[in-house]
Each structure stands twice: as structure tokens, then as C-alpha cells.
Structure 1
Amino acid sequence: MKVLVVRGGWEGHRPVEATELFLPFLADRGCEVRISDSAAIYGDASVMAETDLIVQCVSMGTIEPGEIAGLRAAVAAGTGFTGWHGGIADSFRASSDYLQLVGGQFASHPGKEPGACGGDETDNFLPYEVTLTALGREHPITAGLGDFELTTEQYWVLHDDLIDVLATTTHPVRPWHPWHRPIVSPAVWTRQWGAGRIVVSTPGHSLDVLRNPSVRTVIERGMLWAARTGSAS
């Protein structure tokens, strides 16, 4: 299986270290891995045609028209596409074609009470639960996992109904926030795009979260499920 790892963008998500965590897993599965530090590779039709899986970790950043066209064409033709957190759900904010491909976009990660904030990234770290859906309890990516708790950024995601949600998280109503009822947001989802499969996991802000057994299982199984020739096991 040929895997393309594309990483870069905002350094706060540690794109190099984060993707390196999963290279041994791919190597153990006999994958041939190519690493690119730029989305420009999406514009190389010959590379994309032979790629079975793309693992993307590019937070924010920009993408050129030919690059997103190449990515969309590859996925529609059967190349799998997966990633976690801002590396896939907050990439290329200005590209509507990218947003349509992925089906969900980071909007916010609500924080602590203002008086409890100290001015660093932990202001946005909240305890929350990732809850499997009925589909998630049967799907190869998440079957056998239970609901699990994390203390990290809790993503609020804008999404469409073409995604198949395997797990959700609920943002509660707090006195310092302007919304008036709990908001259920997808935390793990899949998406069929042409002949290709897409898998998104919103947990993954930091290396310790990626090492969480449940998060890591979702990401690793998701790679296998999304790949052109693979299936989760």
C-alpha cells in the first residue's frame, strides 16, 4: 500500500512529531510511505494516481486551485484521505472546494470561564466525553471501543449531512457563553466521495492526546479503512 503523508501548516499542532507517531504502524503493515511538506504534491497527477492513502496534517495554510483539484480527483478515483484535529478539519480555510470534500470545518473550541484563564493554550482545555453513535458501535473503525473522556480542545464543527458520524461530543451551556442549549458536534466521521473514503477524527491537538489508546485506535483503524486496498482489523 502506498501512503502519502502531507504535513505542515501551523506548528502548534506539531505536524512532524504528530505524523511520526504513526509511521511505525504504517511500516508494520508493509506500507510504502512518502512524506511531503507541501500540498503542492496534490497537483502531481502521477503521484496521486498511485497513492492508496493520504494522511494529512496541515493546519490552516493555503492551497492552490490545481492542488485542491488534484486532491479531489484522487479521492473521487479511490484514494483514501484521513487525518485528525486541525490537520484535516481546519485546513485551507479559504478553499470552499476543500471544505466540501471533507464535510466538516472547525468553528471553535470553547474555553474555560474567563476568570480562570491564564493566557495559554490550556485556556481551551476542557474535560469532555466522546460518545459513540449507534453506527459507531458497529463500524470497523470504532467497534469494540467504549465512550471515552479527554481533557483537551473540544472541537465545535460545522458540517453537512453527507457525513456518517461514528462519535459525537456535546458542548454544554455555560453562563459565559452565548448559546442557549447544548450543541452536539461530530467528533469522528467518515465520508464517501466518489470511489474514495474519508475519515476525520477531531481529537488530536497534542501528542499526549494522539497517544490516548482510544484516539490512536480510531486514527490507525481509520487509515486502514480509508485506504484504497485496506480494511480495518
Structure 2
Amino acid sequence: MSSTPRHALVIRGGWEGHSPVAATDLFVPFLSTSGYDVRVEESLDVLTDAAVMAGTDLVVQCWTMGSISQEQLAGLTAAVRAGTGLAGWHGGIADAFRASSDYLHLVGGQFAAHPGKPAAECTPGAAENNFLPHRITIRPERADHPIVAGLDDFDLVTEQYWVLTDEYNDVLATTTHPARDDQPWHREVTCPAVWTRDWGQGRVFVATPGHQPSVLEHPAVRTIVERGLLWASR
């Protein structure tokens, strides 16, 4: 561990359904023991502080939906282009700031849906209606990447994200939505579940599992996120 701490900025907020405080609190001790001085902010205004951002090695973002100003986004984008890492999971990064096309361009993927159970199996108003059994599949050709090295495919019962992405991403793991009689699509659709993206001198890491802290505590998910944070960092 370096004697000079690196600096991580945890930005959390937005929709409370993704437990931004509890979720990020899972990883603050890990960052601290990994040699980071951790700063936690519950406002996006810090992104406009050029000095703070220039000294930040990693931004951990957990901010579902919401909006970001042009000045805030400019601060984030400039920092990443200069070498600051950007990392996050689930809606905290892949369903943030829906109205900003420049943010979507930076992150490389946008939540579109999490298909739920067939209507006959649903309980009115229950969050579990959206929890489906599905598999996260490590791409064999990327199995040596440090974020997923040594991990096997694994199964989850939680929200399964359908995301819209582009080919610039380095996709490390995928998940496949089956064709279903109760849904309008007619064949299986495979979506990225873990990806990275180089942006200027910076790195971006995204994992789509993570709807609840309990999902983030799954051994494989936690390993991927912890490795992803370190990989993305300057």
C-alpha cells in the first residue's frame, strides 16, 4: 500500500429505492483499507470544484435518476478525461441523469427496463414482482480481465437489467433475457452486465447487479465491484 493515500469521492443520492447510503457504506471500509482517503458527498455540487476533482483518483457514484447541471457534468467529464476513474453499479450509474445525453455517452450504457414476473405470478405492489432468477455469464474471451479473473458464471434472483449500449464498451459479463409469451420481444436478448470504458485518460466501470445491499453482498457481485473500483481508479 502506498504511504501517500489516494482520494476517493463517493457521491450518493437520487432515488432512495436503491439505498444509496447503505449501498455505498458497504464499500467505504474497503476503500479505506485499500489506501484511499474517502470523502462522501450527498450533493452534486462538488463536481464543479475543479481543485477537488483534479485531486480525486476515483469517483464512486450511486445516484439513481435525478438531474445534473451542465456545470456539474462538465466537472465530472473533465475529471474523467484527465484521469479520474468513475465507477458504480445498477441504477446508481446506469440509470442516472436520464435527460443528459452527454452523461450517457460518458458511461456507455442506459437502463431501459427490468422485466418482471408474468402478471399471474405477481403480488400487487410487491418489489419482488421484478425479481427474476437469471445468470451472469463471464465472457470467455475476457475471463482473464482482472475484474473477473477466476470467477465462474453465477446466478441471482433480483432485477435483471436490460440496457442500451454501444460497441465501444469492453463487456466482461452478460445476462440474457429469454423470449417469453407474455412479453413483446420474440427472441433472447443478451445485454452487458459488467463493462468498462476508456474515456480520455480515465476509466469507467459499470456493473448492473446491485438493486439492494443484499445483492451487493453476494460474493461474486462484491468481488466484481471491489475489483472494478480499484481498476477504474487513477
Fold agreement, TM-score > 0.5: yes
Instruction: Quote the Cα distance in structure 2 between the aligned partners of 1:44 and 1:161.
Output: 32
Instruction: Quote the Cα distance in structure 1 between the aligned partners of 2:44 and 2:99.
Output: 14
1:96 is aligned, of 98, 101, 108, to: 101
Query: What are the equivalent positions in structure 2 for 1:25-44 lying under 5 Å apart?
Result: 25-44=30-49
Native 8 Å contact 1:2 1:50 kept in 2: yes
Instruction: Quote the Cα distance in structure 2 between the aligned partners of 1:200 and 1:183.
Output: 19
Give how far 1:208 is off: 0.7
Per-residue Cα deviation, 1:76-100 (whole angstroms, up to 9, x for no partner): 0000000000000000000011000
TM-score, normalization: structure 2?
A: 0.96
Structure 1 segments unaligned to the other structure (5+ residues) = 229-233
Aligned to 2:3: none
Aligned to 2:143: 137
2:227 is aligned, of 201, 207, 221, to: 221
Give how far 1:10 is off: 0.3
Aligned to 1:231: none
Give how far 1:135 is off: 3.8
Could you tell me which amino acid in structure 2 is paired with residue 96 of structure 1? S
Could you tell me which amino acid in structure 1 is paired with residue 13 of structure 2? G
Give how far 1:120 is off: 1.4
Query: What are the equivalent positions in structure 2 for 1:44-123 lying under 5 Å apart?
Result: 44-118=49-123, 119-123=125-129
Aligned to 2:191: 185
Runs of 4+ in 1 over 2 A off after TM superposition: none
SS, match of residue 117 in structure 2: coil
SS, match of residue 140 in structure 2: coil
1:12 aligns with 2:28: no
Give how far 1:58 is off: 0.2
Native 8 Å contact 1:41 1:47 kept in 2: yes
Per-residue Cα deviation, 1:159-198 (whole angstroms, up to 9, x for no partner): 0111000000000011100001000000000000000000
SS, match of residue 181 in structure 1: coil
What is the number of residues matched between the two proteins? 228
Could you tell me which amino acid in structure 1 is paired with residue 108 of structure 2? G
Could you tell me which amino acid in structure 1 is paired with residue 193 of structure 2? A
TM-score, normalization: structure 1?
A: 0.97
SS, match of residue 67 in structure 2: coil
SS, match of residue 151 in structure 1: strand
Could you tell me which amino acid in structure 2 is paired with residue 129 of structure 1? R
Give how far 1:27 is off: 1.1
- What is the RMSD computed on CA atoms of the aligned residues? 0.6
Higher mean alpha-carbon deviation, 161-170 vs 117-126, is at 117-126
1:169 aligns with 2:175: yes
Percent sequence identity over matched residues?
61
Instruction: Quote the Cα distance in structure 1 between the aligned partners of 2:202 and 2:100.
Output: 20
Instruction: Quote the Cα distance in structure 2 between the aligned partners of 1:23 and 1:117.
Output: 36
Could you tell me which amino acid in structure 2 is paired with residue 150 of structure 1? L
Aligned to 1:211: 217
SS, match of residue 165 in structure 1: strand
Aligned to 2:164: 158
SS, match of residue 33 in structure 1: strand
